[in-house]
Amino acid sequence: MAIIELTDVHKTFMKAREAVEVLMGIDLGVEAGDFVALMGPSGSGKTTLLNIIGGLDGATAGEVVVADANLDALSSRELARWRARTIGFVFQFYNLLPVLNAQRNVELPLLLTKLSGKQRRRNAQTALSIVGLDDRAGHKPGELSGGQQQRVAIARAIVADPPILVCDEPTGDLDRENAEEILDLLRILNRDHGKTVIMVTHDPKAADHAKRILHLDKGKLVQEVAA
């Protein structure tokens, strides 16, 4: 069963009063449990497509059904709630909150749930131990390396147990060694925890970790490569 189903999705931006069509008819189905790498030249619309799948932005035309929800039909409030339940986001620059320590950063998504403070702390600790950082719970982002920060961000993405992880160039800011660790982590989350992962990357080596590689060019998905 497809957990992500895009049908003829278009996206147009207004740029200096001119309409720029970034996505020109995307059809995409992703099965639950899949690990998809999305590649393509800079400016080809990878982030835009990811934002649409993650419910951060709406398509100009076409149908977007993710985890049984037709995103077009949701209000921005419903969409926010849907994101909290459904999507774990991993960003290129981690986007951790600098004033909070790792533990509190990871707890953030749980503030949107009904869990007690004690439960929140326990779940955050579990997430941190999955990414191998139990011993850094009290550190602030500024006291952690890039790779460690990205692992905290991944803990934050999985703490509320969403079915889908949406990762925009998660290794783009890391050296090879740290990048490998992050990719291994994503693969474990995919394989052992059943997360559907969709990941944008420039790096062919990174894409090799995926089960499926998509190429986006000139607004279209041009070829699918089975890994």
Partner 1 sequence: MFAQVFEVTVMNLKNLPNRLGSSSVIVVGIGGVVGVLVAILAMASGFQSTLDRGGDPQRAVVLRGGSDNELSSFMNTETINVVASMPGIVEASPELYMVADVPKRSTGTDANLIVRGVSPDAFTLHDEVVIVEGRRFVPGRGEIIAGRGAHVEFAGIDIGNSVKLRQSEWTIVGIFEADGSAYESELWVDLPVAQSAFRLDGGASSMRLRLDSPERVDELAERIESDPRLDLELFGEVEFFARQGGGLTNTIRTFGYAVAVIMAIGAVFAALNTMYAAVVSRTVEIATLRALGFGAFPVVVSVMIESMALALLGGVLGAAVSYFGFNGYTVSTLSNASFSQIAFDFAVTPELLRDGLVWALSLGAIGGLLPAVRAAVLPITVALRGE
Ligand X SMILES: Nc1ncnc2c1ncn2[C@@H]1O[C@H](COP(=O)(O)OP(=O)(O)O)[C@@H](O)[C@H]1O
Binding residues for partner 1, rule: CB under 8 A, are: 48, 51, 54, 56-57, 76-77, 80-81, 83-85, 89, 91, 95, 97-100, 108-109, 111-112, 156
State the alpha helices, DSSP H only, in the chain. 46-53, 76-86, 102-107, 117-130, 146-158, 176-193, 204-207
Binds Mg ion (CB under 5 A): choice among 47, 123, 178, 190: 47
Determine contact, residues 78/133, Cβ cutoff 8 Å.
no
DSSP character for 134?
G
Rule CB under 5 A: is residue 92 a binding residue for Mg ion? no
Q: Which is closer to ligand X, CB of 1 or CB of 16?
A: 16
Binding partner of residue 44 among Mg ion, partner 1, ligand X, none, CB cut-off 5 to 8 Å per kind: ligand X
Comparing CA positions, the residue from 180, 205, 210, 208 lying closest to residue 195 is 210
Give the SS3 label for residue 95: coil
CB of 166 to Mg ion, least distance (A): 12
Give the count of beta carbons closer than 10 Å to the beta carbon of residue 114. Answer: 6
Q: Which is closer to ligand X, CB of 45 or CB of 109?
A: 45
Q: Which is closer to ligand X, CB of 43 or CB of 142?
A: 43
Cα–Cα distance measured from residue 109 to residue 188, given in angstroms and rounded to the nearest whole number: 21
Q: Which is closer to ligand X, CB of 46 or CB of 120?
A: 46
Binding residues vs ligand X (CB under 6 A): 13, 15, 22, 40, 42-48
